[in-house]
């Protein structure tokens, strides 16, 4: 069965406070996005979603770093939901699709394969991590204890049969969802959770970049 990686790299990276888009920042000698793409090099297809005004910069980076892993570029939308939807339109054959954040370059191929192998009809598979910190629930006036054992932190890649997640996105008329599992679930899909990886961090700040430099193999 074909496997497609849909890598979403449409963010502006405002929290990074850098002139360069965060997916293009250099991590141990190579732009972050290239590290991410390399983790999916064994897939049949790789789709990368970028803001249109980043296309030329990405092409120049690929030339500069002699980056030759085959992939196609798709124009991003105004938010993550629209960007994923645009990327899904490029999938022409049914198979497993792994939808991944472009600025999560440290995941292992072992995790990717484990997630893809667990996908089944009507069931999406996502990596999650337990919450370590104490949690409190609050409103405008008060706060109260909340049991952290009942919640988890969600990572990517989130994996589905491509025809099913495409159908789910076509049925949704709101962009309020921040991950693909939520879109799938609201359209009667079921979600299986597997243990993610501590190292599978999302690089959004300068501190994250320093941590990634220390963690990378």
Q: What is the DSSP-derived secondary structure letter of residue 128?
A: E
Strand positions, DSSP E, 25-179: 26-27, 30-31, 45-50, 72-75, 96-101, 123-130, 135-138, 143-146, 152-154, 158-161
Q: Which CATH code for domain 3-215?
A: 3.90.550.10
Total residue count of the chain as it appears in this document: 217
Assign residue 62 a region (left: φ > 0; alpha: ψ between -120 and 50; beta: otherwise). alpha
pTM for this entry: 0.94
Measure the CA–CA gap between 185 and 73, rounded to whole angstroms: 28
Give yes or no for a contact between 28 and 22, defined as CB atoms under 8 angstroms apart: no
Question: In this predicted structure, what is the pLDDT of residue 18?
Answer: 60
Question: In this predicted structure, what is the pLDDT of residue 16?
Answer: 52
What SS3 class is residue 25? Answer: coil
Assign residue 19 a region (left: φ > 0; alpha: ψ between -120 and 50; beta: otherwise). alpha
């980076």: which residue's tokens?
61
Give yes or no for a contact between 164 and 189, defined as CB atoms under 8 angstroms apart: yes
Question: In this predicted structure, what is the pLDDT of residue 134?
Answer: 87
Measure the CA–CA gap between 120 and 25, rounded to whole angstroms: 36
Q: What is the mean pLDDT, run by run of 10 residues, along the chain of 217 residues?
A: 94 59 94 98 98 96 98 94 95 95 97 98 97 86 83 97 97 86 95 98 93 88
Question: In this predicted structure, what is the pLDDT of residue 13?
Answer: 52
Contacts of 26 (CB under 8 A, 6+ apart): 32
Question: In this predicted structure, what is the pLDDT of residue 12?
Answer: 58
Measure the CA–CA gap between 40 and 98, rounded to whole angstroms: 9
Which of 67, 190, 178, 75 shows the shortest CA–CA distance to 125? Answer: 190
């Amino acid at each position: 069965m074909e496997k497609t990686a849909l890598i979403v790299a449409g963010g502006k990276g405002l929290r990074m406070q850098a002139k360069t888009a965060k997916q293009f920042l250099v991590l141990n000698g190579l732009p972050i996005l290239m590290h991410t793409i390399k983790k999916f090099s064994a897939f049949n297809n790789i789709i990368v979603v970028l803001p249109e005004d980043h296309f030329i910069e990405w092409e120049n980076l690929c030339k500069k770093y002699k980056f030759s892993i085959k992939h196609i570029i798709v124009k991003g939308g105004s938010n993550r939901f629209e960007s994923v939807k645009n990327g899904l339109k490029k999938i022409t054959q049914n198979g497993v699709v792994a939808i991944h954040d472009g600025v999560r370059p440290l995941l292992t191929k072992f995790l990717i394969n484990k997630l893809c192998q667990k996908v089944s009809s009507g069931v999406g598979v996502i990596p999650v991590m337990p919450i370590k910190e104490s949690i409190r629930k609050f409103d405008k006036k008060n706060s109260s204890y909340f049991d952290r054992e009942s919640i988890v932190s969600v990572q990517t890649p989130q994996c589905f049969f491509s025809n099913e997640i495409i159908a789910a996105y076509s049925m949704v008329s709101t962009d309020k969802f921040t991950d693909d599992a939520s879109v799938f679930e609201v359209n009667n899909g079921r979600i299986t959770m597997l243990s993610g990886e501590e190292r599978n961090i999302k690089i959004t700040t300068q501190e994250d970049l320093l941590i990634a430099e220390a963690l990378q193999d």
